[in-house]
């Protein structure tokens, strides 16, 4: 008989070594997340996957599943907290969905819809961040970076390169480029690299491809992020 945890009162099987996120996804239970990706070592930084395990707050993407865990996921309290976290992600950067080419394909936007985020709530920071379009095929709009480190991990763990890093702490945290000039053009990043395609927001973009996918054919035009996430990540977790 397999080992189980309970999530919102339902028994969920798990195998040793799985995180709560992995067990939940494999069982078809969606836990909102942005910095988690099944192909990469968990980072636990966005805090969107916050769950309560036996009354204690944990990140589902980093916390191992263990016998006897009673996990709360889809509760009003946690949804309210996740919405606040998402609102903070929005106000810390400059996220202008109406003109952003990632609209309809953006995980940050989709998770905001999923959590019924209707406004920013917090005062906007309006940070003054750079756009680095120096690379021939890839550009970075730092205004939209949420510091999920997926590009950092993809570059290191998948592409065998080391193009990105996070520098600074707290409110001064920012994404940096690993080149002497600090510009993307002086790195070995290629448009086919996983790191160039992994960004959950519109921060890292393939140049000259914006708006080519018509409205109605974008990822989240007909499905919410929970459905998309479970369909695409279920298999990856099972591997």
Partner 1 sequence: MYEHLETADNRENLKRVVVDPVSRVEGHGKVTLLLDADNKVQQARLHIVEFRGFERFIQGRPYWELPVLVQRLCGICPVSHHLAAAKAIDQLVGVDPQNLPVSADKLRRLLHFGQLFQSHALHFFHLSSPDLLFGFESDISKRSIIAVLGAYPDLGVQGVKMRKYGQEVIRMVSGKRVHGTGAIAGGMNKPLTKAERDYLLEDIDQMIEWSKASVALIKKVHCSNLPYYDDFGTIRSNYLGLIKPDGALEFYHGGLRAKNAQGETLMDHVDYCKYNDYIHEEVRSWTYMKFPYLLSMGPENGWYRVGPLARINNCDYINTPIAEAARVEFKAHGGEAMVHSTLAFHWARLIEILHCAESIKILLNDPDIMGHDLVAQGEKRYEGVGVIEAPRGTLFHHYQVDENDIVTKANLIVSTTSNNMGMNESVRQVAAEYLSGRELTEPLLNNLEVAIRAYDPCLSCATHALGKMPLQLELIDVEGKLIDKLVKNSDGQIGRNSHG
Contact positions toward partner 1, by CB under 8 A?
A: 98-99, 101, 131, 133-134, 139, 207-217
| Cβ-contact 142, 133 below 8 angstroms | no
Residue closer to partner 1 by CB (options 88, 97) is: 97
Q: Give the whole-angstrom CA distance, residue 174 versus residue 147.
A: 7
Closest distance between partner 1 and the C-beta of residue 222, in Å? 13
Nearer to partner 1, 119 or 239 (CB): 119
State the nearest-atom distance from the C-beta of 216 to partner 1, in Å.
6
Calpha distance 35→49 (Å, rounded):
9
Structure tokens at 74: 């889809």
CA dihedral 52, 53, 58, 63 (to 10 degrees): -140
Compute the least distance from the CB of residue 1 to partner 1, in Å.
Answer: 50
Q: Closest CB to partner 1 among 124 and 131?
A: 131
Q: Shortest Cβ distance from residue 132 to partner 1 (Å)?
A: 9
The Cα 195–Cα 6 span in angstroms is 35
**Cα separation, 192 vs 177, whole angstroms:** 18
Select 4 or 94, whichever has its Cβ closest to partner 1. 94
């Amino acid at each position: 008989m397999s080992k189980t945890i309970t999530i919102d009162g339902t028994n969920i099987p798990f195998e040793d070594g799985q995180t709560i996120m992995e067990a939940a996804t494999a069982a078809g239970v969606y836990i909102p997340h942005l910095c988690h990706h099944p192909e990469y070592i968990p980072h636990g930084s966005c805090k969107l996957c916050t769950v309560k395990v036996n009354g204690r707050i944990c990140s589902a993407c980093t916390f191992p599943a263990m016998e006897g865990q009673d996990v709360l996921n889809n509760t009003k309290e946690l949804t309210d907290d996740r919405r606040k976290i998402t609102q903070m992600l929005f106000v810390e950067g400059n996220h202008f969905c109406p003109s952003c080419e990632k609209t309809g394909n953006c995980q940050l936007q989709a998770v905001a819809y999923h959590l019924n985020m209707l406004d920013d709530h917090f005062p906007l920071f309006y940070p003054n961040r750079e756009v680095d379009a120096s690379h021939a095929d890839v550009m970075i709009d730092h205004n939209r970076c949420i510091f999920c480190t997926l590009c950092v991990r993809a570059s290191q763990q998948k592409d065998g390169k080391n193009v990105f890093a996070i520098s600074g702490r707290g409110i001064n945290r920012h994404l940096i480029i690993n080149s002497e000039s600090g510009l993307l053009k002086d790195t070995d990043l290629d448009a086919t690299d996983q790191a160039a395609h992994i960004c959950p927001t519109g921060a890292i973009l393939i140049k000259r491809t914006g708006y080519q996918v018509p409205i109605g054919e974008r990822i989240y035009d007909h499905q919410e992020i929970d459905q998309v996430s479970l369909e695409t990540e279920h298999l990856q977790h099972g591997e």
